[in-house]
Structure 1
Amino acid sequence: MYTEKSPLTGGQPTYQNPSRMYKKQVKQFQCLLCAAVLSLFAIALITAIVFSVDEDELDNLINGNASLEGKLQASPGGGISEVEFNKALKQGLEKVMEEEDAMMRSPKILVNTPSYRHFRLVSFPENYNNVSRLGQLSDELTKYFIREKPELRLNISSVNVAENEEFKEYCRSSRSRICRSSQYRSIDGACNNLQHPDWGTSMRPFLRLLSPEYCDGVSEPRCGSREALPPARDVTLKLHRANYKSDHKFNFMFAVWGQFIDHDITATAITRLINGQMVSCCGSKGIDKCYPVILSEDDPIFILYNTSCMEFVRSTPAPRCTLGPREQLNQQTSFLDGSVIYGSNEELSRRLRSFQGGRMAVSVSEDGRDLLPVSIDLTDGCNREEEAKNGRYCFLAGDVRANENLHLTTLHVIMVRHHNRIASRLQQLNPQWDDERTYQETRKIVTAQVQHITYKELLVPLLGEKIMESYDLKVRTSAYSTIYDDTINPSIANNFATSSFRFAHSLLPGLMKSYEETSPDSLTLLRKIFFNPFPLYTAGSLDRILMSAVGTDVQKANRFFTTEVTQHLFEEPQNMTVPKKCGLDLVSMNIQRGRDHGLPGYPKWRVYCNLTPVKEFNDLKKFMDDESVEALQRLYKTVDDIDLYSGSLSETPLKGSMLGPTATCLIAEQFRRTKFGDRFWYDAYTGPHSFTADQLKEIKKTTLARIVCDNSDNVKEVPENLLLFSGISNKNIQCEELADIDFAPWSER
């Protein structure tokens, strides 16, 4: 198990080589036959230098930098004989099969219910079921040896299973993978880092910045240090209640682009059954993968629907090549590489291509407009029989969540049209290019633009100018401004995917500006845009949906959430012939997911970020309002138990940032590694595959506003920064006035 500590002090950001950090792990070999031979090996000890903390939270962040590296090194041994290991392996496999059998015999979630829709969004692909089994087997082996050999508890990572036949293929060492020279990214992220080819690859564990804290030390969800943690749903109702305060600086497109980027780099895997069904945890007992959200009798949902349970399946455990506490899998590549558009595995990426002129596949509406390819699976959680009868289906994209809300689907349409537009232009300039060359060059440009927009238009208003400067995240005007560092692991941190970047759920408004032609000035409930991409088939609707997002402001980023996501998430449209199913609570699921992943309590993350430590509830008053502190104190028995999600969202925002210091720190830390740990980063020169200086100059003209103008149906005017509300400092501008890219530098004639 490795941990990573990031002291946030000391001037300009520097990136430390792992050889300068030390990690100590005792490796003990105990001979079962003679019980006489002991040997110790020293590997590395990460030392965390905790400096004195200033009272000014912003200064603590901007005056420092995060050490970005740590390694997990496996070593053989552990004093386990082959006979004993085989015995453990046999028992572990039996437990895995028993669990699968119990799940198959348990009640299943009904198709097209809110819970079914949610699980289809995050469920594990069926062709990766063996990876899920290996993850559970890792858990069972770890539990067995801790139980049978208690002396291994602190040294369990000395047991290496990488050469075992069950794990061998998955655990092939990074040095055994041959990375062929390529000027383009791989689809699954492999071989981005030539020294560590698996870093950032899809279907690999999330990175840990702090060691997980499981109730049993191995896999059971985090529990309270003194008493049980408050039920996640109670935290929602008493701390994260609705309190509508709009943030007139940001529009809804800010949240949509944030979600688009989140889906590009994170996708926590949830196990589904071999036949594609979902187990009902509320109707089952004794299943390890179940961790349902419990509702109290005074809960509004309990009262209205007479239910005391909300479905929740635990994340799939990741296989480990050395034994240790449970880890979770990221289904996406960790690189900001446009995989949300192109897919993160070869099979899906090929389904999304037309193989003609480098273009992506599209479907065409009755009025001749390009839309996404369609998904005709009526059990996908999105498609509806009444719509399918009229030839209107949900869509297929690089990420399964593309249909989750109407505005997100619209952005997917825009980006696929954008790819095809660029591909056509490159073909005109270079008719000698074949389909593959045109596709890869276009994908390279679009990925660069996604990176540029994210760091220029999203992160600056999110984190603030000072934090962007301190973490070296600012986009520079010079041609090449990023120095790639192959010692930096760009993998997505578990806390980022499970908690920190889910802050945007608090931005969601209860009401949206209507996209309907008949009532453009009216408002519509947020719940009506979930799993409802069908308006895109209607002429003129795409532009109205875009303007709905641009014209709707978001809520302030804080601890308050609209009831649209705490009580009505993924509710199906009202149907008088079918009993209405209660909606889900997104906030409770976020809290539950953090506990499922064993994320340490909120105070430890403040220490990690070198912020003012908290020892008791009164300490929170330095950076939270009194009402938030009182609510937290009523819920949690000790300050150490506060969930990271709830604690960080309760902090007062930093000056110039949308968020408080803890969330700001953890988000900036991730995007720093994302940038400097990517060999193909758009403005880094790392070899012949990099953009030329002239090409990069054109890439840096990119704005999301221009992309929307070029690829909408008929949008003529937009805010200059499409993610901010229009006003004095962000005026509406005619599309033709926005800078456009000249593709002449790509011509090889």
Structure 2
Amino acid sequence: MVDISYRSVVCMMVAIVMHGRHLSATIVSCEESVPLALRKPHQLTAHISLDHDSKFLVSRMWPLKDKEWYLRHWQTGQWNHREASDPPNTDPHNTSSNTDAFPDNSNSWKHSEFDTNVITDEDMQEALSYGIDKFRDTEKTEKTLYEKNIYVPKDSSAYRHQSFRRFSPMSKMLSTMGIIMDYSTEAMSKNLKLSKEVLTVDMILLEQRIFCEPEMLRPEAEPCNASSPYRTPDGTCNNLENPLWGASFTPHRRVLPADYGDGVSTLRRAADGGELPNARFVSTSVNLQTPRRSSCMTMLFTTFGQFIDHDLTFTPITKGKNGTSIPCCTKEVTQDPSLLHSQCAPIDIPVDDPFYGAYRETCMEFVRSSPAHRCNFGPRDQLNELTSLLDVSQVYGSTKNVTEDLRTFTDGLLETQLSTNGQELLPPSTDMNEDCNTKEQTLQGKLCFKAGDVRVNEQIGLAVLTTILVREHNRLARGLKQLNPSWDDERLYQEARRIVVAQMQHITYNEYLPLVVGPGIMKSLGLLPQGDGQHTEDYDPTIHPGVSNEFASAAFRFGHSMIPTNMLEVKANGTTTAQSLNSVIFKPFAIYTSGFSVRNVRGQAAQSVPVVDTLFTLEVTGKLFRMKKQFGLDLVAFNIHRGRDHGIPGYNAVRRACGLPNVSTFKQLAKYFDPQILRIIKNIYRSVNDIDLFVGGLAEKPVPGGLLGPTFVCLIADQFLRLKIADRFWYEYKGSSGSFTTDQLREIHQVSLARIICDNLPKISSIQRWPLEVTSAFNPVLQCSSKCIPKFSLYHWRE
């Protein structure tokens, strides 16, 4: 007989397979069996069933092959060759392989060998001269726009979108060579009548180092110190053999070769060579006017996902002279095509649009992502300004300059400002050119905040979570100072940072990721934390940790579907207030108010968010960044258009790369998509090969225990597997000079988001055991003093 006393219920730990048909529960008394209770419920499930598609996924060789594998096979004419390292295909029902990621009826991807020796030096010189001339024309356009004061209106949502995505001077410099090589490759294509396959596959073999002067390239990493126990700020030297792998200001990795309309840089086109359906039309069509279903996730889950995203990826968009915004839809530009910037790709809005039609809006501003630097011909890539590793760069920064700007250089502390009640807040951003700052708030002594990532003010819950992590760093630094009075500022800072990074890695893989991809995938791919101080030995220096373009541009944007219309605040007495989403975007000033952060976290932890599907709130499909107007931007249309901008292959190509069965007709998608959304998708797209990855990924039915369908699960699992096994400083890895001891790691293994919140929001007093999931009998609200929320001790860091 199990004791069902109140004490036992409060302390129980339950293994739940979310969304599955079977519910299994293991009751564990926290008082009697603390080590077992430290683990996340998903890890207590002994047997996790996988559906058919999940079995396809886990049978693959992981990590997935990436762009270089495909190109190597194409270039050598060994497209049907299976490498010795490839796993044998033992499933008689699995007819896919890593060698058939593109539809058989797509003639543009049937590659035949091409001899690049037929291209002469004169051909290349002529193309490069053309590229340089075209780049100068672009510079002239930017100068004209600047001198004539032609900008995106400052009271518009487009201005806010472009201004908050601040452009680093480094990105501007690096993109120069990318743009020149885009134009040069286009010229080569026209002059020599090269096919799309040759442009995509073979042209990258042609390098022009003479045109890539050192000052035009990302600086090489300084000599690596293999014995250093600490990460570099910019991610360099994590991989000692390839010091720039995972570093900031490097190109995104690709799962598949790019699929541009012209093979070089123009937006992806349909399989028949025609235009893909209008991005805004797709957005409104798939966003069915039906009630949105609630998930078992909280708003804190959505915010946490955004927080992780801002640790991994930031792709800059093109800016004009002196970092000014680029207008694509203004009257001056539409009436004088000579003023249209080469990187403009505005989204046309149908005249009968169900929302924008009432405001007579027919054009949505859209500027293309800036190209990454390269010294070879071939297709465009995009730049990632952040480190690709889970190193909490959204708190600490991704460059040495940003990192140093956020430090006090005293006792290892991060810079903060104190609120009126003495609580640490993020430091103020004194840049009045930042769109977030307003004269009205500045006169009241309230400025927007600065952190390791420039988007910290985008959503007030994000600013609150970042504040909590800064407080955690300083709490640890002070504790380490007490334990080790002889440690200097640098040692205290680096050790506190090392612990915070480990804590966030553990929480991400223990509490967040299992909810996204499902416990079955987590267990099968070895993504679950070890627990109880156990180390791993699976670091692999041959694996590239870079964030893939497919992940950044589509898969990890799934959280946009989970954004609610309102955000809640909950007072200590349970009183609830709600604010519309756009009323808290770029308005973080309430954080200065005593007690707000606690009310915000209570609200986020209490609020259930929608399930992942193709439905979205109007707050993001028509009112995003609307400022004082009645309308704003459409984030869904932006995501679809951005995928085409980046040359992301269609949904069907990506699912094949994941090893999922190929589909050649819409009818074959019936087992993967909801019938209603499938009918709409069939009416939108002419071919299954045209479906945009963002749309197809969201339309899939979720895998058992996860939030997403198999294609997005594939991309996200692949990325997080790389972030684990390709990180030399991974918190559980024991082969690094910075590895934790067994006792230290045991402390980290018991860390939870609930404990981080309790330790840094002292007035919150209680929270559910797993704050990313809604409160239930199996996830009760506990007092912060409860032993079911184990405390983190620094005792084992005493030197």
TM-score, normalised on structure 1?
A: 0.89
CA distance 1:316–1:10, change in 2 (3 Å): closer
| Partner Cα separation in structure 2 for residue 279 and residue 24 of structure 1 | 38
**What pairs up with 1:135-146 in 2 under 5 angstroms?**
135-146=178-189
| Partner Cα separation in structure 1 for residue 630 and residue 677 of structure 2 | 32
Contact 1:720/1:731 (<8 A) preserved: yes
Contact 2:71/2:257 (<8 A) preserved: no
| Partner Cα separation in structure 2 for residue 623 and residue 54 of structure 1 | 21
Match 1:696 to one of 729, 739, 745:
745
Match 1:610 to one of 654, 659, 672:
659
The Cα of 1:487 is off from its aligned counterpart by: 0.7
* Residue equivalent to 1:73: none
After superposing the two structures, state which structure 1 stretch, 78-87 or 545-554, moved more: 78-87
Match 1:206 to one of 233, 252, 256:
252
CA deviations 1:618-655 (Å, max 9, x no partner) are 11111112111110011111111010100111111112
Contact 1:78/1:158 (<8 A) preserved: no
Contact 1:50/1:610 (<8 A) preserved: no
* Residue equivalent to 1:510: 565
SS in 1 for 2:774: coil
Contact 1:392/1:537 (<8 A) preserved: yes
SS in 1 for 2:268: coil
Contact 2:650/2:690 (<8 A) preserved: yes
Contact 2:316/2:383 (<8 A) preserved: yes
Contact 1:222/1:598 (<8 A) preserved: yes
| Partner Cα separation in structure 2 for residue 741 and residue 657 of structure 1 | 29
* Residue equivalent to 1:67: none
* Residue equivalent to 1:371: 425
CA distance 1:607–1:81, change in 2 (3 Å): closer
| Partner Cα separation in structure 1 for residue 673 and residue 90 of structure 2 | 21
| Partner Cα separation in structure 1 for residue 511 and residue 748 of structure 2 | 14
Question: Which one-letter code corresponds to 1:727 in the other structure?
Answer: S
| Partner Cα separation in structure 2 for residue 217 and residue 16 of structure 1 | 23
Please say if 1:178 is aligned against 2:218.
Answer: no
CA deviations 1:561-586 (Å, max 9, x no partner) are 111110111121x4xxxxx2621111
The Cα of 1:532 is off from its aligned counterpart by: 1.1
In the comparison of the two structures, how many residue pairs are matched? 707
CA distance 1:289–1:637, change in 2 (3 Å): same
* Residue equivalent to 1:335: 389
Please say if 1:560 is aligned against 2:615.
Answer: yes
Match 2:299 to one of 238, 245, 252:
252
The Cα of 1:368 is off from its aligned counterpart by: 2.0
| Partner Cα separation in structure 1 for residue 444 and residue 771 of structure 2 | 34
Match 2:475 to one of 421, 427, 430:
421
Please say if 1:571 is aligned against 2:626.
Answer: yes
CA deviations 1:108-141 (Å, max 9, x no partner) are 1123532122122334213432112121112122
Question: Which one-letter code corresponds to 1:124 in the other structure?
Answer: F
* Residue equivalent to 2:484: 430
SS in 1 for 2:329: helix
**What pairs up with 1:571-590 in 2 under 5 angstroms?**
571-572=626-627, 574=628, 580=629, 582-590=631-639
The Cα of 1:150 is off from its aligned counterpart by: 4.0
Match 2:205 to one of 158, 162, 180:
158
Please say if 1:344 is aligned against 2:387.
Answer: no
* Residue equivalent to 1:3: none
* Residue equivalent to 1:682: 731
SS in 1 for 2:296: strand
Question: Which one-letter code corresponds to 1:235 in the other structure?
Answer: V
Match 2:136 to one of 81, 97, 100:
97
Identity %: 37
| Partner Cα separation in structure 1 for residue 439 and residue 660 of structure 2 | 53
Question: Which one-letter code corresponds to 2:307 in the other structure?
Answer: F
CA deviations 1:702-745 (Å, max 9, x no partner) are 10111111111411000001111111111111111221111111
Match 2:341 to one of 287, 290, 304:
287
* Residue equivalent to 1:225: 271
CA distance 1:561–1:51, change in 2 (3 Å): farther
Contact 1:565/1:586 (<8 A) preserved: yes
Match 1:240 to one of 287, 297, 312:
287
The Cα of 1:83 is off from its aligned counterpart by: 5.5
Contact 1:282/1:310 (<8 A) preserved: yes
The Cα of 1:323 is off from its aligned counterpart by: 1.9
Contact 1:137/1:319 (<8 A) preserved: no
Please say if 1:471 is aligned against 2:529.
Answer: no
Contact 2:302/2:559 (<8 A) preserved: yes
Please say if 1:461 is aligned against 2:515.
Answer: yes
Match 1:326 to one of 380, 393, 409:
380
Contact 2:218/2:249 (<8 A) preserved: no
Match 1:734 to one of 763, 783, 790:
783
Question: Which one-letter code corresponds to 1:203 in the other structure?
Answer: F
* Residue equivalent to 1:305: 359
| Partner Cα separation in structure 1 for residue 450 and residue 423 of structure 2 | 16
CA deviations 1:61-120 (Å, max 9, x no partner) are 9xxxxxxxxxxxxxx985666565444333322211211221343431123532122122
CA deviations 1:143-201 (Å, max 9, x no partner) are 232333346645212211234343676278x8x96322321111111111111111111
Contact 1:167/1:321 (<8 A) preserved: no
CA deviations 1:309-361 (Å, max 9, x no partner) are 11111000111232210100111110000101001011111111111110000
* Residue equivalent to 2:9: none
Q: Which runs of 5+ in 2 are unaligned?
A: 1-53, 99-114
| Partner Cα separation in structure 2 for residue 150 and residue 24 of structure 1 | 23
TM-score, normalised on structure 2?
A: 0.83
Match 2:410 to one of 345, 356, 374:
356
Please say if 1:134 is aligned against 2:177.
Answer: yes
Contact 1:406/1:529 (<8 A) preserved: yes
Question: Which one-letter code corresponds to 1:595 in the other structure?
Answer: R
